[in-house]
Structure 1
Amino acid sequence: MEFLLLLIAFICGFACKLVSLPPLIGYLVAGFILNAMGFSSNPAISTIADLGITVMLFTIGLKLNLKDLIKPEIWFASVAHSAVWILCCVGLLFLLALIPLAHFTELSFMQLALIGFAFSFSSTVCVVKLLEESGEIRTRHGKIAIGILIMQDIFAVLFLVFATGKVPSIYALALFALIPLAPLLKKLLSEAGHGELLPLSGLVFALGGYQLFELVGVKGDLGALVFGILLAGTSKSSELAKSLLSFKDLFLIGFFLSIGLTALPDLEMTLIALLLTLLIPLKFMMFFALFTQLRLRARTSYLASLILSNYSEFGLIVAAVAVSVGMISEQWLVIIAMSVSFSFVLTSILYKQSHNQYILIKEPLKKFQKPRALAEDVYPSFNNVDVLVIGMGRVGKGAFSALSKDIGSAVCGMDADQDKINRLNKDGYNAIVGDGENIDLWENLDISNIKLVLLALPSIEDSSNITCQLRSAKFNGKVAAIARYEDEVQPLLDSGVDQVFNFFTDAGLGFAEESLAILGRGQPTQADKQA
């Protein structure tokens, strides 16, 4: 039985990947297929699903900056969107109740509001997955989306506490003692090394936080998130998040399967789910209006609104609790599950081409943009720069250091992560904040004197997109990029990159030539330094 579950999940996930959809949609379909075959959820699948959510929230906490949550574009947008959405949903669902569909006719005002509340959440799983796959989780719009999700998660936890009547124990006040214990937890993490003990320590922290909060009557998922936040901001937090990535992805398969195994929908439920999916553009417009009114730039507002335009697994959790206490019927849990699934498909398809979509419609969107941008959204500038290194990770920093030895301040680094750039500037790096896929950035940045742009990015899709943006902005210099695999070289060249360095092959060549240089038998070439 276990093998059949894995086999069908693999087949459906692989089929989605072949048509350029995220595999998670395939796992949802696999759950419905297994349901139709007579399978039902079991404790093992539920446990794996819970592990996936717990580890995911822990990794979100590792990347979270609490200062971001107190910004108006996060807390106000979250509260205002939820309130307006619920009011609109109540009105729209009331109108839909006029249609002679059995599941609408007997809904009370309270039930309408509860269903609207369940649909107010955006999917943490879907959003984080798409942002990670596109390498945009630390971009401006990525951080905005994550902040909104965290606020929504807090709303969900508060609902679960009040709906279940589960009052935290008086001992929950002792959880505040975790704050002064944070340095000790970070010390333990730093001593975990880089091997198998690192992901094991992450699982211990995540599950330990879950169990600790449960012991004092607080939702365990919140404990995993808090422990991640306590460990955030260290040099090891990013490495820990990467080491847990495979575990998280594997566990989340169980979560998506469990959604499909909840119940098998009929034709009427499917029709209602499709009707509710048609409300997603309204969610997008609400987010976009709020973001632009809060002085975010049109592009940031568009991308953040687009990726948040879906329904959430937390809506399912809210619905499941509501069913357990008799507030709504079981059929609505199935309807919400299908709507969540449809919304995942819609977001995955639309966001994949989001940057190209923005280029086509940016002028109409900019009409909603406020004249005065927020301080974080002011475009950077530089002078007397010959070489621009985009992506200041390990490879980018290495290339920057090698180039700066030869041309000094004529090299500049750029990265979309504001926190990373702040750290680099403190260390003496000449670096600016910028999202290379932002066509507005290139149109407002003077790149006429730049001779070379070096793309030190792990994703060839990002490198290709940035190259296209540069060429659209009339950049006439050279573009160099890195590739991890041989089959990535030609697509980069086809996108307009002038020179591609194979990460592993050229790294070995550079290592050999540097070694020979020690013996006085050769000197490393400039190309190797740039790689």
Structure 2
Amino acid sequence: MIEPILVGVAFLAGLGFRRIGMPPLLGYLIAGFLAGWFELGDADVIHVLSEIGITLLLFTIGLKLNLRELLAPQIWVTASLHTVIVVPLTAAVLLALLWVLPGVEEIDASVAWMLAFALSFSSTVFAVKIFDERGEGAALHAKIAIGILIVQDIFAVSYLVLSAEHTPSPWAFLLLALPLLRPVLVYLLKQAGHGELLILFGMAVALGSAELFHMMHLEAGLGALLFGVLLSNVDKSVELYKSLINFKDIFLTAFFLSIGYYGLPSGNMLLVALVISALVLLRPLVYFALLLMFRLRARTSLLVGLSLFNYSEFGLIVAAMAVNSGQLPGAWLTTLAVAMAISLFIAVPFNTHVHSMYARLATRLQKMERKELLQEERPVDLGEAEIVIFGMGRIGSGAYEYLSEHYPDKIIGVEESADKALKMRLAGISCVTGDASDRDFLERANLHRRKTVLVSLTNHSENVDVVKLLQQLDYRGKIAVVSRFPDQQEELIGMGCITFNLYAEAGHGFAERVLEELG
């Protein structure tokens, strides 16, 4: 079972980092190393829970995946070129360690290339967690980053299949018929309703598909990803995604804890971990240059590059295979575990303060952009709208519908998801694609012509960041923001905002609706 003390330590460590403005996952990493040091909890149980977390993560990515987006050059070509650039450089550093750090055991050239290939990947767990915490899951930079990670996952799965001791099962070819299961899965999804049956359905499909692929001697995570894709782009896929988010996050906590159980290296191997960790500093620069080449804005390129700033758990998987086969000394496994943890500690502060960092560097970075940007990166026009609604989810759409009755042709919605914005325009709703946290977008929005801005984004921290950005840009109109809890409402009122507490005032809205119907 899970040691209660370990759960408590993870909570306190996560809370401590959150209080200083850092993501709690850094606390989970420290708790994991403490647990490994003091032998708290059962490492095997933690490992199983972390595997469930990764499976649910890949399944939920599949639910939101658009395969056509992976065909964009800025995704698959960028991922490929990054691999071509980074792998030889990392291999050269690994082979040179023997002369740079005396006492380090020499490794075979083939093993060095294998480790360099594994270290070329970034952590899907980290990137998705960062985007979720910032409420940017539907933004263009998040889609590009996730697309690159999925292409890397395809590279990783291909490698594991080719290097596996067991070839895929002869029955594996039957998996080509998986698209035939889509109607059945969609029917069951619709029948599951909105409660615990929906959650059970999602868990069963995610874990069952992973086990199915494992039985076929294929990568289990690939099965979860593909079954998520089978259920994507249907009405209830978004609801299923939201119902699994909290479960996914809880199990992913176990993943960060599990890293600490690999232990700490000693002596020179700790220096090796520091050298390997230093290599990640080049990674955002490579991504930044490649994405600029594909006509993306400097801001988008920076956000993507920093989200891919660290090492992936795949490196540990490859290292474990090499250790088990006798190709690599066991000390390398703990060395890579520490290198991955250090890379996370390096990446988190950059990603936490990325928007303020871009604000300081915007003028210089924008000079590096191509003259002709991609269509989705070009400035949008808010027209003559006097009221702007950021976030066209259920709340934003409802506000648009109500206000348009009183202020026709004076309202425009801004939505991060290009697909969703397009559907709204086809339905006759005035909506453009844009990111409310994008300083460039707001600077070009002629804010002095807008009387009121409504903010109803994914989470409270994102709403607060947008309010701060509007105030930094000297916006003088009214700002109305959605809140869900009393402490959030008080914070927004203190910032001078009009705020509506969804939970506290839902009954009032319900009564108003009844009175309207009664005439």
TM-score range, shorter chain: over 0.9
Indicate conservation of the 8 Å contact 2:288/2:301, yes or no. yes
Quote the Cα distance in structure 2 between the aligned partners of 1:50 and 1:376: 36
Quote the Cα distance in structure 2 between the aligned partners of 1:76 and 1:292: 13
Indicate conservation of the 8 Å contact 2:115/2:318, yes or no. no
Quote the Cα distance in structure 2 between the aligned partners of 1:422 and 1:342: 41
User: SS where residue 481 of structure 1 aligns?
Assistant: strand
Gapped regions of structure 2 (runs ≥ 5): none
Quote the Cα distance in structure 2 between the aligned partners of 1:330 and 1:41: 21
Name 2:33's counterpart in structure 1.
32
Name 1:93's counterpart in structure 2.
94
Quote the Cα distance in structure 2 between the aligned partners of 1:243 and 1:464: 25
Name 2:337's counterpart in structure 1.
337
Indicate conservation of the 8 Å contact 1:74/1:148, yes or no. yes
Measured at CA, do residues 469 and 254 of structure 1 come closer, stay the same or move farther in structure 2, by a change above 3 Å?
Answer: closer
User: SS where residue 67 of structure 1 aligns?
Assistant: helix
Residues 160-184 of structure 1 show CA distances to partners (whole Å, capped at 9, x for unaligned) of 1122233222322211211132122
- Supply the AA of the counterpart residue of 1:177: A
- Supply the AA of the counterpart residue of 2:397: K
Alignment of 1:303-314 (within 5 A): 303-314=303-314
Measured at CA, do residues 58 and 132 of structure 1 come closer, stay the same or move farther in structure 2, by a change above 3 Å?
Answer: same
Quote the Cα distance in structure 2 between the aligned partners of 1:287 and 1:373: 17
Indicate conservation of the 8 Å contact 2:87/2:117, yes or no. yes
User: SS where residue 423 of structure 1 aligns?
Assistant: helix
Name 1:2's counterpart in structure 2.
3
User: SS where residue 328 of structure 1 aligns?
Assistant: coil
Name 2:103's counterpart in structure 1.
102
User: SS where residue 413 of structure 2 aligns?
Assistant: strand
Alignment of 1:75-94 (within 5 A): 75-94=76-95
- Supply the AA of the counterpart residue of 1:515: V
Give me the identity figure in percent: 39
Indicate conservation of the 8 Å contact 2:63/2:232, yes or no. yes
Residues 428-487 of structure 1 show CA distances to partners (whole Å, capped at 9, x for unaligned) of 211000001111112223344321111112423222322233344443322111111111
Bigger shift: residues 418-427 or 78-87: 418-427
Offset of residue 362 of structure 1: 0.8
Name 1:146's counterpart in structure 2.
146
Q: Does 1:373 align with 2:407?
A: no
Offset of residue 518 of structure 1: 4.2
Bigger shift: residues 36-45 or 307-316: 36-45
- Supply the AA of the counterpart residue of 2:464: S
Residues 174-224 of structure 1 show CA distances to partners (whole Å, capped at 9, x for unaligned) of 112111321221121111110000110001110121122222222111000
Alignment of 1:155-170 (within 5 A): 155-170=155-170
Offset of residue 424 of structure 1: 1.5
Quote the Cα distance in structure 1 between the aligned partners of 2:134 and 2:111: 38
Name 1:510's counterpart in structure 2.
509
Indicate conservation of the 8 Å contact 1:52/1:248, yes or no. yes
Alignment of 1:291-310 (within 5 A): 291-310=291-310
Quote the Cα distance in structure 1 between the aligned partners of 2:492 and 2:41: 46
Measured at CA, do residues 14 and 445 of structure 1 come closer, stay the same or move farther in structure 2, by a change above 3 Å?
Answer: closer
Gapped regions of structure 1 (runs ≥ 5): 521-531
Alignment of 1:424-435 (within 5 A): 424-435=424-435
Q: Tell me how large the CA RMSD over aligned residues is.
A: 1.9
Indicate conservation of the 8 Å contact 1:458/1:483, yes or no. no
Quote the Cα distance in structure 2 between the aligned partners of 1:156 and 1:37: 33
Name 2:483's counterpart in structure 1.
483
Pairs aligned (count): 518
Quote the Cα distance in structure 2 between the aligned partners of 1:281 and 1:264: 22
Quote the Cα distance in structure 2 between the aligned partners of 1:102 and 1:28: 29
Offset of residue 229 of structure 1: 0.7
Quote the Cα distance in structure 1 between the aligned partners of 2:477 and 2:143: 31
Name 2:133's counterpart in structure 1.
133
Quote the Cα distance in structure 1 between the aligned partners of 2:324 and 2:274: 25
Quote the Cα distance in structure 2 between the aligned partners of 1:11 and 1:505: 30
- Supply the AA of the counterpart residue of 2:86: W
Name 1:325's counterpart in structure 2.
325
Residues 34-79 of structure 1 show CA distances to partners (whole Å, capped at 9, x for unaligned) of 2222458543222212111111110111111101111011000001
- Supply the AA of the counterpart residue of 1:511: F
Q: Does 1:399 align with 2:399?
A: yes
- Supply the AA of the counterpart residue of 1:440: D
Quote the Cα distance in structure 2 between the aligned partners of 1:347 and 1:65: 27
Measured at CA, do residues 420 and 23 of structure 1 come closer, stay the same or move farther in structure 2, by a change above 3 Å?
Answer: same
User: SS where residue 249 of structure 2 aligns?
Assistant: helix
Bigger shift: residues 472-481 or 453-462: 472-481
Residues 127-185 of structure 1 show CA distances to partners (whole Å, capped at 9, x for unaligned) of 11111011111101111111111111111111111222332223222112111321221
Quote the Cα distance in structure 1 between the aligned partners of 2:474 and 2:21: 30
User: SS where residue 303 of structure 2 aligns?
Assistant: helix
Offset of residue 414 of structure 1: 0.6
- Supply the AA of the counterpart residue of 2:121: F
- Supply the AA of the counterpart residue of 1:115: L
User: SS where residue 97 of structure 1 aligns?
Assistant: helix
The normalised TM-score by structure 1 is 0.93
Name 1:222's counterpart in structure 2.
222
Quote the Cα distance in structure 1 between the aligned partners of 2:465 and 2:91: 41
Indicate conservation of the 8 Å contact 2:492/2:499, yes or no. yes
Indicate conservation of the 8 Å contact 1:144/1:304, yes or no. yes
Quote the Cα distance in structure 2 between the aligned partners of 1:159 and 1:41: 30
Residues 302-333 of structure 1 show CA distances to partners (whole Å, capped at 9, x for unaligned) of 01101111111122112212222223221111
Measured at CA, do residues 101 and 506 of structure 1 come closer, stay the same or move farther in structure 2, by a change above 3 Å?
Answer: farther
Measured at CA, do residues 16 and 443 of structure 1 come closer, stay the same or move farther in structure 2, by a change above 3 Å?
Answer: closer
User: SS where residue 413 of structure 1 aligns?
Assistant: strand
Bigger shift: residues 341-350 or 165-174: 165-174
Indicate conservation of the 8 Å contact 2:3/2:42, yes or no. no
Quote the Cα distance in structure 2 between the aligned partners of 1:263 and 1:309: 23
Alignment of 1:200-239 (within 5 A): 200-239=200-239
Name 1:529's counterpart in structure 2.
none
Name 1:22's counterpart in structure 2.
23
Alignment of 1:428-507 (within 5 A): 428-495=428-495, 497-507=496-506
Residues 94-133 of structure 1 show CA distances to partners (whole Å, capped at 9, x for unaligned) of 3433223433x41222222222222111111111111101
The normalised TM-score by structure 2 is 0.95
Name 1:265's counterpart in structure 2.
265
